[in-house]
Amino acid sequence: MRILSMSCFLGALVALAGCGGGGTPGGPGANGDGGDGGSRFGTADETFKIDVPFLSTKVTQGESTTAEISLNRGTNFDEDVTLTFDKVPKGVTIKPDEAKISASEKGVTITIAAAAKAALGDFTVKVIGKPTKGADASHELKLTVNAKEPPKEETKNEKDENTVEP
């Protein structure tokens, strides 16, 4: 029984580790042509991947939040990458709308703002990374837009308890 439990735990751990990467790689080595259209073949260490928050980023109508987007660079990938965002839900804005990550930077902080009447629900925003040369990379950012809670009204009992008698 103990061996079975340990096997199940290890299997789940391997499955989770395999799910962390996601997205499609970009850069000169992503399409095998070295990014220059010539005969040189690009390698995996000339690519990059986009890393987004693992869990859904939550924002409430009428409010904003931040999220970190970073690059997982191959050892030989040293280019600037511009991030754009596709399939952003109605009433939601992402700033900056074109975030640039220079070759010396690891990532960028974005601000996600939901208008007071932004569409509610779970969404998938496509994050696209455009390098100086080579193929684009992409990854999906999970986004949840929640309804703003109406202000809580005091009940008669709460009003009575808060009244100070002289």
**Better pLDDT: 42 or 57:** 57
**Better pLDDT: 43 or 28:** 28
User: Which pLDDT score is estimated for 45?
Assistant: 80
User: Which pLDDT score is estimated for 34?
Assistant: 44
In a domain, 43, yes or no: yes
Span 62-75, pLDDT tens digits:
999 999 999 999 98
**Better pLDDT: 134 or 114:** 114
In a domain, 158, yes or no: no
User: Which pLDDT score is estimated for 143?
Assistant: 98
Enclosing domain of residue 63: 23-149
In a domain, 127, yes or no: yes
User: Which pLDDT score is estimated for 64?
Assistant: 98
In a domain, 162, yes or no: no
CATH of the domain at 57: 2.60.40.10
User: Which pLDDT score is estimated for 17?
Assistant: 37
* Residue with token string 């735990």: 9
| Cis before 25 (ω within 30) | no
For residue 142, give Cα distances in angstroms to 16, 30, 42, 88, 156.
17, 24, 31, 11, 42
In a domain, 11, yes or no: no
* Residue with token string 């439990």: 5
In a domain, 56, yes or no: yes
Mean model confidence pLDDT for the chain: 81
Range 152-163 average pLDDT: 62
DSSP secondary-structure letter at 27? B
Give the count of domains, the chain.
1
In a domain, 13, yes or no: no
Q: How far from the centroid of its chain's Cα atoms is residue 80's Cα?
A: 19
Least confident of 11-15, 18-22, 33-37, 149-153: 11-15
In a domain, 105, yes or no: yes
Quote the strand ranges of the chain, DSSP E.
48-51, 57-60, 64-73, 81-86, 92-95, 99-101, 107-114, 121-131, 137-146
Q: Using the predicted structure, report yes or no on whether residue 37 has a pLDDT greater than 60.
A: no
User: Which pLDDT score is estimated for 146?
Assistant: 97
